Structure 1
């Protein structure tokens, strides 16, 4: 039985991880620590809060005293560290918050873990750090995918902050003997994803007849991973991963952004044609009049320093830990689309003034 502290557990990936873990390991105890910034939503965890093995704590990873108290009082033996500022555009316009949360916040967690787990008791433990493929920089069209040995070359303040936190985690293993592991994942998608991200943004904008803003030519390529496949990878690392090691978790599923937008438009048009209630629910959508939503595509000025391609070589986690994604992109994107259509009240609550202002600033 494990006692887990999940940081950022009210965010997109963290929320899905909590439900995944509670379902698979019903005897384990989970404490979520989340500051509930704009992308953290306590309502995500409504069902989890009905479980006596779950506890939510509203607090910040920068509060070392709070973290130490949680580690001691709940006999925490495993930290799964999701908490991070994660949107590249926001990091370009306001990098300070990324430095503070992603670097200083991670270091604060490491200091607390060292104090409670090593300095006081030297108890069995694991600190797992969730990172990103963006730390590796960008790839050309014919370059081989990133491996765990690819040199770091971050190109955005977000990627640089995550690279820095990766180095700190590694250093705490090498210097102090903290049992750490790191996973660098490709682009996640699925339920509970904040609407500023590409896939939910396209879905919601089609439903409300809003432009679909595409950076540059839209040929930027990403490797896409369904969120619960990511969680399965983290599970395997916690179970069988070697302390001090890094594991890349990818879907081996490269798509250009513009092709994903066209796919979602095609799927939504088909959904509307098969379900007449959608036309009543979203009467302004072009799909409600049997018009193709791709007409909403609008190419905008490219993002500063926009990486052209990411791709993950996941052979290490596959060969060493037995990781194989369960979802194809076709099955995963259909699940995601259905979830967003079925959960309008959830995402409608997030479409507040700050989000609308952010859209206006970035996609004007």
Structure 2
């Protein structure tokens, strides 16, 4: 009962939104510096995204059970501390291998943010209420991808790329201090004591059809999103000759669209079933990706042929992420929320590993590789969204 007032407070939502934005903080801020990092460290900068996503996806599978056993607060504080250490290490790195190691450490810590934030929401809310809260968090966390590249670009104007990772460490310290005042949301009665049983629960969740379909929809969608995030610095800065200082504005426009869609989504959630919102949004995004692919195959000199379609696709995340997260977590038991949230995050961000690896192999600043991966991801997402929609419609009839 003591937590009732806090769970609806602006402070709690701001903190959870900031934790959800950990991924954006860890990637978007240094995107303008990727060409410079590649030059200074004589390496391929997209590997810094790949390594981060590997650490981010795998570590969640361990943090999930830990948070279900020991509660949310202690793992979260530990994760933020590791993020700070990783950020400092990246700032001091003098070769690409060392930087990759510290990016993995940074990721192992950063993954606790969105994973535990999702678990906290599920601890306190369920169903449509959870979808509404996730939607509010999407609005709050959307600030990070808007200001991140802008801050990164401006820091590059006055300092080297190392200042960007110093900035990350400072933000991490601020979040650590804020989290100290967070109350524990997982009651002792809902905690799990048997670690072997906890890890076995992963197999049970993998057999959960509704959870898996939701996870496959959002992870396929993020395959497309991370194709843009990984490739956009080289495509915009090197292919289209956009100044690194202004790259942040082009990136931020997309997140502004995401924020606007998230605001409208608060009304859509009350008027339409979640599965219908997911299906319609995914299919529209898929058609837009097809148009983008055709346009860039015919003319690769137009910035608008990439920027406009990406704006629409990126903005649709304001509906897809909140709806699929709410659907997925509503089909798991209260004592497995941490595990389910970890698995959901591993699928979601693990798909970005595929995008960044494919782009590293392709090794081109041309927009075609990015558009092909975007199209492929949304094609898969469309298939899974249709299956999810049919299954949920069938369940509602029953």
- TM-score relative to the length of structure 1: 0.27
> Which protein, 1 or 2, shows the higher relative CO under an 8 Å CA cutoff with sep ≥ 6?
2
Which protein has the bigger helix share?
2
TM-score relative to the length of structure 2: 0.25
